[in-house]
Amino acid sequence: MFTGEYFSKRGPAGAVRLRAIPGANSNIDLDWRFARDQTGQACIPLASTLCNNNRLYAGGQSLRILTFGQFGRGFRGVADMNLVSSLPFRQVYEEGFNVISSPLEHSLAFLTRNDPSVSVNMLYGRTGIFFKRTDQPEVTLRKFPALEASVAEQPLGTLPLYWSLDTGLAGIARRDASITTPIFVERYDLHPAFEFPVLRSNALDWSQRLGFRETIYTHSLQAQVVSDPLNRFAFEYASSFAGPQFERDFGVWKHVIEPTIDYRYLTGADRFRKTFVVDDVDLVTNTNEVEYGLTNRFFTTRELFSWRISQKYFFDPTFGGAIIAGQRNVFAPVLDISGFVFADGPRRFSPIVSTMRLSTSASTSTDLQVDYDTRDHLFRSAGVNGGVNRGQFSGGVSYFFTRRLQGQEGAIQIPNNQLRGTLVYGNEQKPGLSAAFSFSYDVEHSLFQGSVAQFGYNTHCYGLSFELSQFNIGDRKESRFRFAFSLKNIGSYGTLRRQERLF
């Protein structure tokens, strides 16, 4: 299907979409968009590589491919490819707030076979990150070719011992403002582990885990990337203790309290600063830590409410020299406790992480996480997600807040304060009236970044849809009206596409 558009201030644009179902278990969905920006908008040349005579031209193209299918012998293939020529093109011409506001460009393709105990995957992965108005991502991470295999926990003979294995062979590459690696840097990874359940009972659970990880890189990071192999041989020990559980029955509901203590020691990964990061395999560092927590649960016939409070203590506050003061530090030990970044230098204690989940019925749920930094005595970050789905009504709200992380030469993480919400009545198949509204509000700058209101009316013969929308983010500043008229089993006419509807 071809769609042509003409913008009175910018010029022609269009899209080509192909959908095919070659077989019962396969699908192909291709979406190619293109535009020629004849007018552009004012810009500062030093702020963009796309400036021409002090004008920013957002023309370009994007390609989205989503396909999957069965290949026999238990193998399944999936490709989800996203390519865009520049960030201004995405913000000006593409649709959907999540797409317009995202600086990320993800592409993933894999061939996989999963048995109950063994998983084998061949994959291609690429991530591009735009920071400025450029025609190339400022950070590009690629993994191809890659072969990965894993064995789930298996009993070792008749012994009270379980073993597991993760291994992989990959060609990786990274390009950013500081380094550019060769096209293929070989990486070999082998990670066997053994778990010994010391105690299993209704009151206590105690297990020990030993693991080894051998990771070999054909290149390492010195002042630049050099062809000096890096061999990272790490030894890991972990001990997990849960219980005892304290219970009290109140008749129609029950309260359970369970403490947990998890100790983890890893050594041998003391050259993190010589490793360039592409995925989670490269985020391993030395650590000597203990995580302690307390979980509360309230039940009726199912869990109504849970609340967990946890914190980590780091016996090695530098993580084997991986930490750098005054910088944003991201690696495995600090990501395990919270998804919010907090490591701006050596520290003994992580923030106290409080996570709650409330589900009063099968149609409602609310998740809340709050991180309190005991070192700086302030709330470091918070996030909440809530949703409801009852009959023809559904809605959701999300709010995320992070504080500024200050380094010696300025902010290493800017503050963030975002609120989003959606309210829907009806669906695209419902006869009669349907409506939906969504918004995104930047609390930090008191700015509505986007809002969409949609209305639809269906009969047994035809359907009408209307949309009012507003965007104020990056290079996208506009208010608009769109509509669509559709006839059952024939087609539709208008500018509001089916995949862009909220209901």
The model's pLDDT over 367-416, given as tens digits with 9 standing for 90+, comes to 999 999 999 899 999 999 999 999 899 999 999 999 888 766 666 778 89
Is residue 44's pLDDT more than 80? Answer: no
User: What is the reported pLDDT for 451?
Assistant: 95
User: What is the reported pLDDT for 158?
Assistant: 87
Query: Which whole number is the average pLDDT over 250-273?
Result: 94
Residues whose CB falls within 8 Å of the CB of residue 97, separated by 6 or more in sequence, listed in order: 438, 440, 449, 450, 452, 471, 473
CB 87 within 8 A of CB 134: yes
Mean pLDDT check: name the lowest of 15-24, 33-42, 193-202, 253-262.
33-42
Is residue 28's pLDDT more than 70? Answer: yes
Grade residue 362 by pLDDT with cuts at 50, 70 and 90. Answer: confident
Residues whose CB falls within 8 Å of the CB of residue 383, separated by 6 or more in sequence, listed in order: 340, 368, 369, 398, 399, 400, 401
CB 450 within 8 A of CB 470: yes
User: What is the reported pLDDT for 477?
Assistant: 86
To the nearest whole percent, how much of the chain has pLDDT over 70? Answer: 96
- Mean pLDDT computed over every residue of the chain: 91
Is residue 346's pLDDT more than 90? Answer: yes
339 phi/psi in degrees, rounded to 5: -75, -10
Is residue 41's pLDDT more than 80? Answer: no
The model's pLDDT over 153-175, given as tens digits with 9 standing for 90+, comes to 999 988 889 999 999 999 999 99
Is residue 226's pLDDT more than 80? Answer: no
Grade residue 59 by pLDDT with cuts at 50, 70 and 90. Answer: confident
- Selection from 276, 260, 262 nearest residue 228 by Cα: 276
CB 16 within 8 A of CB 32: yes
Residue 342, SS3? coil
User: What is the reported pLDDT for 48?
Assistant: 60
The model's pLDDT over 300-334, given as tens digits with 9 standing for 90+, comes to 888 999 999 999 999 999 999 999 988 889 999 99
The model's pLDDT over 452-483, given as tens digits with 9 standing for 90+, comes to 999 999 998 899 999 999 999 888 888 989 99
User: What is the reported pLDDT for 33?
Assistant: 93
436 or 492: whose pLDDT is higher?
Answer: 436
User: What is the reported pLDDT for 203?
Assistant: 81
User: What is the reported pLDDT for 72?
Assistant: 87
The model's pLDDT over 178-200, given as tens digits with 9 standing for 90+, comes to 889 999 999 999 999 999 999 88
User: What is the reported pLDDT for 405?
Assistant: 80
